A and B are shown apart, each in its own frame.
Chain A
Amino acid sequence: MIQLRNIRKTYGKHSVLNGINITVEKGDVIAILGPSGSGKTTLLRCINFLEHPNEGEITIGEVAVDCKHASKKDVLALRRKTAMVFQHYNLFKHKTVLQNVMEGLTVVQKMPAEEAREISLLMLAKVGLTHKADSYPSQLSGGQQQRVGIARALALNPEVILFDEPTSSLDPELVGEVLTVIQNIAQEGVTMIVVTHEMGFARDISNHIVFMEEGRIIEEGKPQDIFNAPKEERTKQFFKRFTNEWSYSI
Protein backbone atom coordinates (compact mmCIF):
# COMPACT_ATOMS: atom_id res chain seq x y z
CA MET A 1 0.00 0.00 0.00
CA ILE A 2 1.12 3.53 -0.76
CA GLN A 3 0.17 6.51 1.32
CA LEU A 4 0.85 10.17 0.68
CA ARG A 5 0.05 12.34 3.67
CA ASN A 6 -0.10 16.10 3.56
CA ILE A 7 2.52 16.52 0.84
CA ARG A 8 3.59 20.15 0.49
CA LYS A 9 6.01 21.67 -1.95
CA THR A 10 6.97 25.29 -2.51
CA TYR A 11 9.37 26.91 -4.94
CA GLY A 12 10.51 30.04 -3.16
CA LYS A 13 7.26 31.75 -2.23
CA HIS A 14 5.24 29.90 -4.81
CA SER A 15 3.31 27.07 -3.22
CA VAL A 16 2.84 24.29 -5.76
CA LEU A 17 1.46 21.46 -3.60
CA ASN A 18 -0.78 22.43 -0.72
CA GLY A 19 -1.16 19.27 1.30
CA ILE A 20 -1.94 16.30 -0.90
CA ASN A 21 -3.37 13.06 0.54
CA ILE A 22 -3.67 9.96 -1.59
CA THR A 23 -3.94 6.29 -0.70
CA VAL A 24 -3.14 3.66 -3.30
CA GLU A 25 -3.94 -0.01 -2.78
CA LYS A 26 -2.07 -2.81 -4.47
CA GLY A 27 -3.23 -3.17 -8.06
CA ASP A 28 -4.81 0.27 -8.17
CA VAL A 29 -4.47 2.40 -11.26
CA ILE A 30 -4.77 6.03 -10.23
CA ALA A 31 -5.11 8.70 -12.92
CA ILE A 32 -4.21 12.24 -11.97
CA LEU A 33 -5.92 14.88 -14.08
CA GLY A 34 -5.95 18.62 -13.96
CA PRO A 35 -5.13 21.78 -15.86
CA SER A 36 -1.57 22.71 -16.80
CA GLY A 37 0.43 24.00 -13.86
CA SER A 38 -1.81 22.36 -11.26
CA GLY A 39 1.14 20.42 -9.81
CA LYS A 40 0.60 16.94 -11.26
CA THR A 41 4.19 16.44 -12.38
CA THR A 42 5.53 17.92 -9.18
CA LEU A 43 3.42 15.53 -7.09
CA LEU A 44 4.63 12.52 -9.06
CA ARG A 45 8.26 13.63 -8.75
CA CYS A 46 7.84 14.14 -5.02
CA ILE A 47 6.95 10.48 -4.60
CA ASN A 48 10.42 9.36 -5.74
CA PHE A 49 12.14 12.49 -4.48
CA LEU A 50 13.21 13.84 -7.84
CA GLU A 51 11.71 16.88 -6.13
CA HIS A 52 12.19 17.18 -2.43
CA PRO A 53 8.80 17.77 -0.73
CA ASN A 54 8.95 20.39 2.02
CA GLU A 55 6.58 18.53 4.24
CA GLY A 56 4.51 15.39 4.46
CA GLU A 57 4.84 11.68 4.81
CA ILE A 58 5.32 9.07 2.15
CA THR A 59 4.76 5.40 2.93
CA ILE A 60 5.42 2.69 0.38
CA GLY A 61 5.14 -0.82 1.77
CA GLU A 62 7.29 -0.97 4.87
CA VAL A 63 9.24 2.19 3.97
CA ALA A 64 7.87 5.26 5.74
CA VAL A 65 9.58 8.60 5.19
CA ASP A 66 9.05 11.90 6.89
CA CYS A 67 9.80 14.20 3.99
CA LYS A 68 11.10 17.08 6.06
CA HIS A 69 13.82 14.92 7.59
CA ALA A 70 14.42 12.46 4.76
CA SER A 71 17.96 11.07 4.72
CA LYS A 72 19.83 9.91 1.63
CA LYS A 73 19.06 6.38 2.70
CA ASP A 74 15.32 7.14 2.87
CA VAL A 75 15.43 8.63 -0.60
CA LEU A 76 17.20 5.58 -2.04
CA ALA A 77 14.75 3.29 -0.28
CA LEU A 78 11.77 5.09 -1.85
CA ARG A 79 13.39 5.05 -5.25
CA ARG A 80 14.01 1.33 -5.00
CA LYS A 81 10.30 0.77 -4.34
CA THR A 82 9.19 2.84 -7.32
CA ALA A 83 9.91 3.25 -11.01
CA MET A 84 9.09 6.08 -13.35
CA VAL A 85 8.17 6.47 -16.99
CA PHE A 86 9.08 9.91 -18.28
CA GLN A 87 7.47 12.19 -20.80
CA HIS A 88 10.71 12.36 -22.77
CA TYR A 89 11.59 8.67 -22.23
CA ASN A 90 15.03 9.48 -20.78
CA LEU A 91 16.61 6.27 -21.98
CA PHE A 92 20.34 5.79 -21.46
CA LYS A 93 21.57 6.72 -24.91
CA HIS A 94 24.88 4.88 -24.79
CA LYS A 95 23.27 1.58 -23.87
CA THR A 96 21.33 -0.83 -26.02
CA VAL A 97 17.66 -1.46 -25.43
CA LEU A 98 18.45 -4.65 -23.51
CA GLN A 99 21.14 -2.92 -21.45
CA ASN A 100 18.69 -0.14 -20.60
CA VAL A 101 16.27 -2.65 -19.16
CA MET A 102 18.98 -4.69 -17.40
CA GLU A 103 20.76 -1.73 -15.84
CA GLY A 104 18.54 -1.44 -12.76
CA LEU A 105 18.58 -5.17 -12.17
CA THR A 106 22.33 -5.69 -12.36
CA VAL A 107 23.54 -2.40 -10.92
CA VAL A 108 20.87 -1.58 -8.35
CA GLN A 109 19.42 -4.95 -7.43
CA LYS A 110 22.79 -6.71 -7.93
CA MET A 111 21.17 -9.53 -9.84
CA PRO A 112 23.46 -11.90 -11.79
CA ALA A 113 23.68 -10.85 -15.44
CA GLU A 114 22.15 -14.06 -16.79
CA GLU A 115 19.04 -13.77 -14.66
CA ALA A 116 18.74 -10.04 -15.38
CA ARG A 117 18.97 -10.77 -19.07
CA GLU A 118 16.18 -13.31 -18.93
CA ILE A 119 13.87 -10.99 -17.03
CA SER A 120 14.70 -8.10 -19.33
CA LEU A 121 13.96 -10.12 -22.45
CA LEU A 122 10.66 -11.12 -20.90
CA MET A 123 9.82 -7.47 -20.30
CA LEU A 124 10.83 -6.53 -23.83
CA ALA A 125 8.49 -9.24 -25.09
CA LYS A 126 5.69 -7.66 -23.06
CA VAL A 127 6.18 -4.34 -24.81
CA GLY A 128 6.69 -6.04 -28.16
CA LEU A 129 10.32 -5.09 -28.69
CA THR A 130 12.25 -8.33 -28.46
CA HIS A 131 13.55 -7.77 -31.98
CA LYS A 132 15.04 -4.40 -30.96
CA ALA A 133 17.00 -5.72 -27.97
CA ASP A 134 20.37 -4.86 -29.51
CA SER A 135 19.42 -1.51 -31.01
CA TYR A 136 20.38 1.81 -29.49
CA PRO A 137 17.66 4.27 -28.44
CA SER A 138 18.63 6.64 -31.27
CA GLN A 139 17.59 3.94 -33.74
CA LEU A 140 14.02 3.71 -32.39
CA SER A 141 10.84 5.68 -32.96
CA GLY A 142 9.42 7.71 -30.09
CA GLY A 143 6.75 5.11 -29.42
CA GLN A 144 9.34 2.34 -29.32
CA GLN A 145 11.56 4.35 -26.99
CA GLN A 146 8.69 4.90 -24.62
CA ARG A 147 7.91 1.19 -24.64
CA VAL A 148 11.54 0.55 -23.66
CA GLY A 149 11.03 3.08 -20.86
CA ILE A 150 8.05 1.05 -19.71
CA ALA A 151 10.01 -2.21 -19.89
CA ARG A 152 12.83 -0.63 -17.87
CA ALA A 153 10.34 0.34 -15.15
CA LEU A 154 8.53 -2.98 -15.26
CA ALA A 155 11.73 -5.03 -14.93
CA LEU A 156 12.37 -3.65 -11.47
CA ASN A 157 9.10 -5.15 -10.27
CA PRO A 158 8.40 -2.01 -8.23
CA GLU A 159 5.51 -1.45 -5.82
CA VAL A 160 4.29 1.30 -8.12
CA ILE A 161 5.12 2.71 -11.53
CA LEU A 162 4.79 6.48 -11.90
CA PHE A 163 3.84 7.68 -15.39
CA ASP A 164 4.23 11.37 -16.26
CA GLU A 165 2.33 12.07 -19.46
CA PRO A 166 3.84 9.04 -21.17
CA THR A 167 2.36 9.86 -24.58
CA SER A 168 2.41 13.63 -24.76
CA SER A 169 5.65 13.97 -26.68
CA LEU A 170 4.65 11.34 -29.23
CA ASP A 171 3.35 11.82 -32.74
CA PRO A 172 -0.39 11.14 -32.71
CA GLU A 173 -0.06 7.94 -34.72
CA LEU A 174 2.34 6.48 -32.12
CA VAL A 175 0.17 7.21 -29.07
CA GLY A 176 -1.98 4.12 -29.53
CA GLU A 177 0.83 1.55 -29.29
CA VAL A 178 2.05 3.01 -26.01
CA LEU A 179 -1.41 3.29 -24.47
CA THR A 180 -2.11 -0.32 -25.40
CA VAL A 181 1.05 -1.47 -23.65
CA ILE A 182 0.17 0.48 -20.50
CA GLN A 183 -3.34 -0.92 -20.57
CA ASN A 184 -2.01 -4.47 -20.83
CA ILE A 185 0.28 -4.13 -17.84
CA ALA A 186 -2.51 -2.46 -15.87
CA GLN A 187 -4.59 -5.55 -16.46
CA GLU A 188 -1.79 -7.69 -15.05
CA GLY A 189 -2.33 -5.96 -11.74
CA VAL A 190 0.68 -3.61 -11.74
CA THR A 191 0.05 -0.66 -9.41
CA MET A 192 0.31 2.65 -11.24
CA ILE A 193 -0.11 6.35 -10.83
CA VAL A 194 -0.62 7.98 -14.20
CA VAL A 195 -0.58 11.67 -15.03
CA THR A 196 -2.19 12.13 -18.41
CA HIS A 197 -4.11 14.45 -20.67
CA GLU A 198 -5.65 11.50 -22.52
CA MET A 199 -9.11 11.58 -20.99
CA GLY A 200 -10.45 8.48 -22.69
CA PHE A 201 -7.41 6.52 -21.64
CA ALA A 202 -7.69 7.70 -18.03
CA ARG A 203 -11.33 6.67 -17.95
CA ASP A 204 -10.60 3.24 -19.40
CA ILE A 205 -7.61 2.13 -17.36
CA SER A 206 -8.01 3.76 -13.97
CA ASN A 207 -10.10 2.61 -11.06
CA HIS A 208 -9.67 5.94 -9.31
CA ILE A 209 -9.39 9.48 -10.65
CA VAL A 210 -7.80 12.38 -8.82
CA PHE A 211 -8.58 15.84 -10.13
CA MET A 212 -6.09 18.53 -9.12
CA GLU A 213 -6.01 22.28 -9.40
CA GLU A 214 -3.59 24.79 -7.92
CA GLY A 215 -1.83 22.18 -5.86
CA ARG A 216 -4.98 20.80 -4.29
CA ILE A 217 -7.15 17.78 -4.86
CA ILE A 218 -10.48 19.26 -5.91
CA GLU A 219 -12.33 16.03 -6.43
CA GLU A 220 -11.66 12.31 -6.60
CA GLY A 221 -13.56 9.12 -7.13
CA LYS A 222 -14.46 6.35 -9.53
CA PRO A 223 -13.94 7.25 -13.20
CA GLN A 224 -17.61 6.85 -14.12
CA ASP A 225 -18.64 9.21 -11.32
CA ILE A 226 -16.03 11.84 -12.07
CA PHE A 227 -16.58 11.79 -15.82
CA ASN A 228 -20.35 11.51 -15.85
CA ALA A 229 -21.34 13.40 -12.74
CA PRO A 230 -18.60 15.67 -11.44
CA LYS A 231 -19.67 17.42 -8.24
CA GLU A 232 -17.31 20.37 -8.19
CA GLU A 233 -17.82 23.35 -10.47
CA ARG A 234 -14.12 23.41 -11.49
CA THR A 235 -14.13 19.76 -12.42
CA LYS A 236 -17.22 20.36 -14.58
CA GLN A 237 -15.49 23.28 -16.29
CA PHE A 238 -12.39 21.22 -16.94
CA PHE A 239 -14.24 18.33 -18.56
CA LYS A 240 -16.44 20.72 -20.52
CA ARG A 241 -13.35 22.23 -22.06
CA PHE A 242 -12.17 18.82 -23.05
CA THR A 243 -15.48 17.82 -24.61
CA ASN A 244 -15.41 21.12 -26.46
CA GLU A 245 -11.90 20.41 -27.72
CA TRP A 246 -13.04 17.01 -28.89
CA SER A 247 -15.96 18.44 -30.80
CA TYR A 248 -13.71 21.07 -32.42
CA SER A 249 -11.17 18.56 -33.52
CA ILE A 250 -13.69 16.39 -35.33
Chain B
Amino acid sequence: MGKSFDIGLILDFIPKLLGYVHVTFLILAGAILIGIVIGFLVALPRLYRIPVLAQIAAVYVSFIRGTPILIQLFLIYYGLPELLKLVSIDISQWSSMFFVIVTYGLSIGGLFSEVIRAAVTSVERGQTEAAYSIGMSPFVAFIRIVLPQSFAIALPNLANLIIAYMKDTSLAFSIGVMDMTGRGQTLGTTTSHFLEVYISLAVIYYLVCILLESIFSRMEKRVSRYERKFG
Protein backbone atom coordinates (compact mmCIF):
# COMPACT_ATOMS: atom_id res chain seq x y z
CA MET B 1 0.00 0.00 0.00
CA GLY B 2 1.12 3.58 0.60
CA LYS B 3 4.25 5.04 2.07
CA SER B 4 4.55 6.01 5.74
CA PHE B 5 2.04 8.60 6.92
CA ASP B 6 3.17 12.21 6.50
CA ILE B 7 0.84 14.74 8.02
CA GLY B 8 2.63 17.64 6.35
CA LEU B 9 1.48 16.46 2.96
CA ILE B 10 -2.11 17.33 3.84
CA LEU B 11 -1.28 21.03 3.81
CA ASP B 12 0.34 20.47 0.45
CA PHE B 13 -2.60 18.52 -0.99
CA ILE B 14 -5.47 20.70 0.16
CA PRO B 15 -4.62 23.70 -2.09
CA LYS B 16 -3.96 21.37 -5.02
CA LEU B 17 -7.34 19.70 -4.61
CA LEU B 18 -9.10 23.00 -3.93
CA GLY B 19 -8.08 24.00 -7.43
CA TYR B 20 -10.86 21.65 -8.59
CA VAL B 21 -13.60 22.71 -6.17
CA HIS B 22 -15.28 24.74 -8.90
CA VAL B 23 -16.12 21.49 -10.69
CA THR B 24 -18.13 20.39 -7.68
CA PHE B 25 -20.00 23.68 -7.62
CA LEU B 26 -20.56 23.54 -11.35
CA ILE B 27 -22.09 20.06 -11.15
CA LEU B 28 -24.21 21.12 -8.21
CA ALA B 29 -25.42 24.34 -9.82
CA GLY B 30 -26.31 22.61 -13.07
CA ALA B 31 -28.06 19.81 -11.20
CA ILE B 32 -30.09 22.27 -9.11
CA LEU B 33 -31.24 24.18 -12.20
CA ILE B 34 -32.29 21.04 -14.03
CA GLY B 35 -33.63 19.62 -10.78
CA ILE B 36 -35.99 22.55 -10.20
CA VAL B 37 -37.48 22.18 -13.67
CA ILE B 38 -37.78 18.40 -13.32
CA GLY B 39 -39.09 18.82 -9.78
CA PHE B 40 -42.02 20.92 -10.96
CA LEU B 41 -42.67 18.78 -14.01
CA VAL B 42 -42.89 15.71 -11.80
CA ALA B 43 -44.79 17.39 -8.95
CA LEU B 44 -47.52 19.08 -11.01
CA PRO B 45 -49.26 15.97 -12.40
CA ARG B 46 -49.50 14.59 -8.89
CA LEU B 47 -50.67 17.89 -7.39
CA TYR B 48 -53.39 18.24 -10.00
CA ARG B 49 -54.10 14.49 -10.14
CA ILE B 50 -53.65 14.24 -13.87
CA PRO B 51 -54.30 10.58 -14.73
CA VAL B 52 -51.46 8.55 -16.32
CA LEU B 53 -48.94 11.39 -15.94
CA ALA B 54 -49.37 11.22 -12.17
CA GLN B 55 -48.64 7.48 -12.19
CA ILE B 56 -45.61 7.95 -14.42
CA ALA B 57 -44.36 10.63 -12.05
CA ALA B 58 -44.81 8.33 -9.06
CA VAL B 59 -42.85 5.54 -10.74
CA TYR B 60 -40.11 7.99 -11.66
CA VAL B 61 -39.74 9.17 -8.07
CA SER B 62 -39.70 5.67 -6.69
CA PHE B 63 -37.08 4.62 -9.26
CA ILE B 64 -34.83 7.54 -8.31
CA ARG B 65 -35.27 6.73 -4.65
CA GLY B 66 -34.70 3.04 -5.09
CA THR B 67 -31.51 3.02 -7.16
CA PRO B 68 -27.98 4.14 -6.24
CA ILE B 69 -26.83 7.39 -7.80
CA LEU B 70 -23.74 5.62 -9.15
CA ILE B 71 -25.92 3.22 -11.13
CA GLN B 72 -28.05 6.13 -12.36
CA LEU B 73 -24.86 7.80 -13.52
CA PHE B 74 -23.80 4.76 -15.55
CA LEU B 75 -27.29 4.30 -16.93
CA ILE B 76 -27.27 7.85 -18.30
CA TYR B 77 -23.64 7.74 -19.39
CA TYR B 78 -24.04 4.57 -21.44
CA GLY B 79 -27.80 4.64 -22.00
CA LEU B 80 -28.50 8.19 -23.17
CA PRO B 81 -26.21 8.00 -26.24
CA GLU B 82 -27.81 4.66 -27.20
CA LEU B 83 -31.25 6.16 -26.83
CA LEU B 84 -30.41 9.22 -28.90
CA LYS B 85 -28.78 7.05 -31.54
CA LEU B 86 -32.28 5.83 -32.31
CA VAL B 87 -33.18 9.33 -33.46
CA SER B 88 -29.79 9.74 -35.18
CA ILE B 89 -28.28 12.13 -32.65
CA ASP B 90 -24.70 11.34 -31.73
CA ILE B 91 -23.69 12.52 -28.27
CA SER B 92 -21.19 9.79 -27.50
CA GLN B 93 -18.32 12.26 -27.79
CA TRP B 94 -19.82 14.82 -25.44
CA SER B 95 -17.90 15.57 -22.28
CA SER B 96 -18.56 13.41 -19.25
CA MET B 97 -19.40 16.61 -17.37
CA PHE B 98 -22.58 16.82 -19.43
CA PHE B 99 -23.67 13.33 -18.40
CA VAL B 100 -22.91 13.99 -14.77
CA ILE B 101 -24.94 17.18 -14.67
CA VAL B 102 -27.87 15.55 -16.48
CA THR B 103 -27.83 12.56 -14.14
CA TYR B 104 -27.62 14.60 -10.97
CA GLY B 105 -30.29 16.96 -12.29
CA LEU B 106 -32.69 14.16 -13.12
CA SER B 107 -31.97 12.50 -9.82
CA ILE B 108 -32.25 15.47 -7.49
CA GLY B 109 -35.30 16.63 -9.48
CA GLY B 110 -37.17 13.46 -8.58
CA LEU B 111 -36.54 14.11 -4.89
CA PHE B 112 -37.22 17.85 -5.24
CA SER B 113 -40.65 16.98 -6.63
CA GLU B 114 -41.64 15.28 -3.39
CA VAL B 115 -40.54 18.29 -1.36
CA ILE B 116 -42.33 20.68 -3.71
CA ARG B 117 -45.48 18.61 -3.57
CA ALA B 118 -45.56 18.54 0.21
CA ALA B 119 -44.79 22.25 0.46
CA VAL B 120 -47.44 23.33 -2.03
CA THR B 121 -50.15 21.28 -0.32
CA SER B 122 -49.19 22.68 3.06
CA VAL B 123 -50.19 26.23 2.06
CA GLU B 124 -53.81 26.37 3.19
CA ARG B 125 -56.42 26.23 0.48
CA GLY B 126 -58.06 29.25 2.15
CA GLN B 127 -55.33 31.59 0.96
CA THR B 128 -55.79 30.50 -2.62
CA GLU B 129 -59.52 31.05 -2.23
CA ALA B 130 -58.88 34.50 -0.82
CA ALA B 131 -56.69 35.25 -3.85
CA TYR B 132 -59.47 34.08 -6.16
CA SER B 133 -62.01 36.12 -4.22
CA ILE B 134 -60.11 39.34 -4.93
CA GLY B 135 -60.08 38.46 -8.62
CA MET B 136 -56.69 36.80 -9.18
CA SER B 137 -56.43 34.13 -11.84
CA PRO B 138 -55.32 30.67 -10.69
CA PHE B 139 -51.89 31.13 -12.26
CA VAL B 140 -51.24 34.50 -10.63
CA ALA B 141 -52.53 33.20 -7.29
CA PHE B 142 -50.11 30.27 -7.50
CA ILE B 143 -47.14 32.47 -8.38
CA ARG B 144 -47.83 35.28 -5.91
CA ILE B 145 -49.40 33.50 -2.96
CA VAL B 146 -48.66 29.78 -2.94
CA LEU B 147 -45.17 29.64 -4.41
CA PRO B 148 -43.36 32.06 -2.06
CA GLN B 149 -44.78 30.30 0.99
CA SER B 150 -44.04 26.85 -0.42
CA PHE B 151 -40.48 27.94 -1.00
CA ALA B 152 -40.09 28.99 2.62
CA ILE B 153 -41.57 25.69 3.78
CA ALA B 154 -39.52 23.60 1.35
CA LEU B 155 -36.18 25.29 1.85
CA PRO B 156 -34.83 23.25 4.78
CA ASN B 157 -35.60 19.98 2.96
CA LEU B 158 -34.25 21.27 -0.34
CA ALA B 159 -31.09 22.31 1.47
CA ASN B 160 -30.63 18.82 2.93
CA LEU B 161 -31.00 17.25 -0.50
CA ILE B 162 -28.57 19.69 -2.08
CA ILE B 163 -25.97 19.01 0.59
CA ALA B 164 -26.39 15.25 0.19
CA TYR B 165 -25.94 15.56 -3.56
CA MET B 166 -22.94 17.80 -3.12
CA LYS B 167 -21.25 14.91 -1.35
CA ASP B 168 -22.40 12.50 -4.06
CA THR B 169 -20.68 14.58 -6.74
CA SER B 170 -17.56 12.75 -5.55
CA LEU B 171 -18.75 9.86 -7.70
CA ALA B 172 -18.45 11.88 -10.90
CA PHE B 173 -14.86 10.78 -11.39
CA SER B 174 -16.14 7.25 -12.03
CA ILE B 175 -17.02 8.33 -15.56
CA GLY B 176 -13.87 10.39 -15.89
CA VAL B 177 -14.77 13.87 -14.66
CA MET B 178 -11.71 15.54 -13.20
CA ASP B 179 -13.12 16.91 -9.95
CA MET B 180 -11.48 17.02 -6.53
CA THR B 181 -11.96 13.32 -5.98
CA GLY B 182 -10.68 12.53 -9.47
CA ARG B 183 -7.64 14.70 -8.91
CA GLY B 184 -7.17 13.07 -5.50
CA GLN B 185 -7.16 9.71 -7.19
CA THR B 186 -4.28 10.65 -9.51
CA LEU B 187 -2.48 12.43 -6.69
CA GLY B 188 -2.70 9.27 -4.62
CA THR B 189 -1.41 7.12 -7.43
CA THR B 190 1.58 9.34 -8.19
CA THR B 191 2.60 9.96 -4.56
CA SER B 192 1.34 6.72 -2.98
CA HIS B 193 0.06 8.83 -0.05
CA PHE B 194 -3.61 7.82 -0.33
CA LEU B 195 -4.52 8.39 3.31
CA GLU B 196 -3.28 11.98 3.22
CA VAL B 197 -5.28 12.55 0.02
CA TYR B 198 -8.48 11.25 1.56
CA ILE B 199 -8.00 13.23 4.74
CA SER B 200 -7.56 16.33 2.61
CA LEU B 201 -10.69 15.50 0.62
CA ALA B 202 -12.66 14.88 3.81
CA VAL B 203 -11.62 18.28 5.13
CA ILE B 204 -12.57 20.03 1.91
CA TYR B 205 -15.97 18.34 1.51
CA TYR B 206 -16.71 19.03 5.14
CA LEU B 207 -15.87 22.71 4.76
CA VAL B 208 -17.98 23.02 1.60
CA CYS B 209 -20.80 21.36 3.50
CA ILE B 210 -20.54 23.86 6.33
CA LEU B 211 -20.42 26.72 3.85
CA LEU B 212 -23.62 25.51 2.17
CA GLU B 213 -25.32 25.02 5.50
CA SER B 214 -24.58 28.55 6.59
CA ILE B 215 -25.80 29.98 3.28
CA PHE B 216 -29.03 28.02 3.53
CA SER B 217 -29.66 28.89 7.13
CA ARG B 218 -29.31 32.56 6.23
CA MET B 219 -31.76 32.11 3.38
CA GLU B 220 -34.19 30.33 5.66
CA LYS B 221 -34.18 33.22 8.08
CA ARG B 222 -34.83 35.63 5.24
CA VAL B 223 -37.70 33.81 3.56
CA SER B 224 -39.52 32.83 6.73
CA ARG B 225 -39.38 36.19 8.45
CA TYR B 226 -43.18 36.39 8.29
CA GLU B 227 -43.57 33.60 10.80
CA ARG B 228 -44.44 34.46 14.34
CA LYS B 229 -41.51 35.66 16.36
CA PHE B 230 -41.95 34.95 20.01
CA GLY B 231 -40.76 37.40 22.63
Contact = CB atoms under 8 A, between A and B. Distances in A.
A94 B134 contact: no
B226 A90 contact: no
Interface stretch (B40-48, B49-57, B140-148, B167-175): B140-148
B139 to A, nearest CB: 11
A149 B152 CA distance: 23
A153 B130 CA distance: 10
B129 A90 contact: yes
A42 interface: no
B140 A79 contact: no
Q: Summarize B's interface: helix, strand, loop or mixed.
A: helix
B151 to A, nearest CB: 9
A90 B124 CA distance: 8
Interface in A73-126: 76, 79-80, 82-84, 86, 88, 90-96, 103-104, 107-109
B130 A91 contact: yes
Contacts, number: 74
Given A76-B137, A79-B132, A83-B134, A136 B226 contact: yes
B3 interface: no
Contact of B134 (A72, A96, A103, A136): A103
Interface string B121-142: 0001011011111111100100
Contact of A92 (B130, B152, B227, B229): B130
A48 B140 CA distance: 17
B228 A138 contact: yes
A156 B130 contact: no
A71 interface: no
Interface string A182-222: 00000000000000000000000000000000000000000
B126 A90 contact: yes
Given A93-B149, A138-B226, A139-B229, A76 B127 contact: no
Given A80-B135, A83-B134, A94 B129 contact: no
A104 B126 contact: no
A190 B229 CA distance: 36
Nearest to A149: B130
18 contacts: A48-B132, A79-B132, A79-B134, A80-B135, A84-B133, A86-B133, A90-B124, A91-B127, A91-B130, A92-B127, A93-B149, A93-B226, A94-B148, A136-B225, A136-B226, A136-B228, A138-B227, A139-B228
Interface of B: 124, 126-127, 129-137, 140, 144-145, 148-149, 152, 225-229
For the complex of A and B, 6 pairs with smallest distance between CB atoms: A104-B134, A90-B126, A90-B130, A138-B228, A80-B135, A84-B133
Given A86-B130, A107-B136, 10 more contacts: A50-B133, A76-B135, A83-B134, A93-B127, A93-B149, A94-B149, A136-B225, A136-B228, A138-B226, A156-B134
